[in-house]
Amino acid sequence: MASFNVSILFKTPPNINVGKFPLQANGKALALGDSAGFVKTIFSQETGELLGAHMVGHEVTEHIQGFAIAKYLEATDESLAQVIFPHPTLSEAMHESVLSAMQRAIHI
């Protein structure tokens, strides 16, 4: 999946929204005893296009394909915000990161 590095984007005036969600705030990560890490998403302010995602932590390789699929299907921040994520799951952190980029995070 192609992604932009946030530091590179900030060298020019960015029109982006960045959401970040710490795994410390994810119930499943806490229950597993492995809450180090985060999920970060980057969207275009103008179009809502998913520009990239970063995931660091336990079992993130099991979830990153969700963002790859979203990018391929040209999902927007709004369309991803409407997706229902099961609870309790590690994948909820993906949803929370999207909501964070939209200033609508629930659990932080």
First to last CA, the chain: 27
87 catalytic residue (yes or no)? yes
Beta sheet of 50-57, edge-to-edge order: 16-22, 37-44, 50-57
Secondary structure of 59-95 in the HEC alphabet?
CHHHCHHHHHHHHHCCCEHHHHHCCCCCCCCCCHHHH
Neighbour tally for 85: CB within 10 Å: 16
Catalytic residue from among 58, 87, 95, 107: 87
Residues noted as catalytic: 87
